[in-house]
Amino acid sequence: MGNDGGSIPTRRELVREAARAPTTAQIKEVQREQQEHSWTTCPLSHKTLVRPIVSDSVGNLYNKDAVLRYLLPGDDGEGISSKSDCEEVLCGRVKSLRDVVELHFEVDTERSEHPSDRVNAHRHERREGWICPITAKPLGPSVKSVYLVPCGHVFAEEAIRQLKGDRCLQCNEHYTEENIIPILPTKEADKERLIARGARLAEQNLTHSLKKAPGSKKRKKNATEAAVDGTTSSAIAADSTSTSKSKDTNSGIKNSATASLTARVLNEENERKKRQKMMGRSENIDSLFTKDKKGGGNGDFMTRGFTIPASARR
């Protein structure tokens, strides 16, 4: 090859820089950005985290209304990602409200406006400032934070480790070392501990909130009765399922705040379905068509046309 004015590039000319492993500083920067996003954004609705906020068994944060929309039966709820995307995020950890714990943050009323608040001002979304009630440190990606189960109060980890108590400093609720849950853990040891805790609770028919798993106790208690009177129990179950789902959902909720939030979500879902039905049929379109095709010139817009007068036909 030659005498054509071309050249053959060498590897040194093609590969300018070899691929390099990311440095420790780069890894920490990526982790910091991921933490900051997780502390401010709900992964189900992709909206700003606002109270009430809940956490699952591995310390992830969600808006409570987004979890309620995911748990509602039927089509994909408005305001959240598709059911498949939500299931990919939750990984089967949330099957009912018993699988999450509502967190109670201490709000910093003297906190100055965050720079991101100016960006979200047009959305009417103002992110609150949360602090540890013991150390007064701001809670977020720069401070390792934990919450207690079952009460859900949030503290800086150093405050809990230094005091070494077994009672919540906010509500005096008893807790154990195992039930100190880190929020958005980054260490593999913390993640493995939380996964192992969830497996132990599942073996005991308990949920993340330390409540009994739905239906586990009733199945054991009513096993004999169900075998003897299976026909009657199935008829009762059929009658109960035929009632309104919204009434059944609200009747079993004891927490007034959760009940009101559930009712609001259900009302929004019903309004959305009504709008969809109304969009499928319009009065303006119906006026163009009639079932009565008789009467000649008295037909609708689609059947009415030019008619030759009788005198002109002769």
Instruction: Tell me the CATH number at 169.
Output: 3.30.40.10
Q: Is 247 within a domain?
A: no
| Strand order across the beta sheet in which 61-63 lies | 61-63, 53-55, 101-103
CA–CA distance, 262 with 64 (Å, rounded to integer): 10
Q: What is the pLDDT of residue 105?
A: 95
Q: Is 27 within a domain?
A: no
Q: Is 183 within a domain?
A: yes
Of the candidates 265, 5, 39, 50, the one whose C-alpha atom is nearest the C-alpha of residue 139 is 39
Q: Is 158 within a domain?
A: yes
CA–CA distance, 309 with 254 (Å, rounded to integer): 76
Q: Is 37 within a domain?
A: yes
User: Domain count of the chain?
Assistant: 1
Q: Which domain holds residue 53?
A: 32-203
Retrieve residue 210's tokens.
């330390």
Q: What is the pLDDT of residue 22?
A: 82
**3-state class (DSSP) for residue 207:** coil
Q: Is 264 within a domain?
A: no
Q: Is 190 within a domain?
A: yes
Residue ranges in the chain whose pLDDT is less than 50: 112-126, 224, 227-228, 231-232, 234-236, 238-251, 293-296
Q: What is the DSSP string of 169-202?
A: TTT--B--GGGEEESS--SHHHHHHHHHHHHHHH
Q: What is the pLDDT of residue 249?
A: 45
Q: Is 271 within a domain?
A: no
Bridge partners of residue 182, in order along the sequence? 146
Contact of 130 with 143, CB cutoff 8 Å: no
Q: What is the pLDDT of residue 112?
A: 47
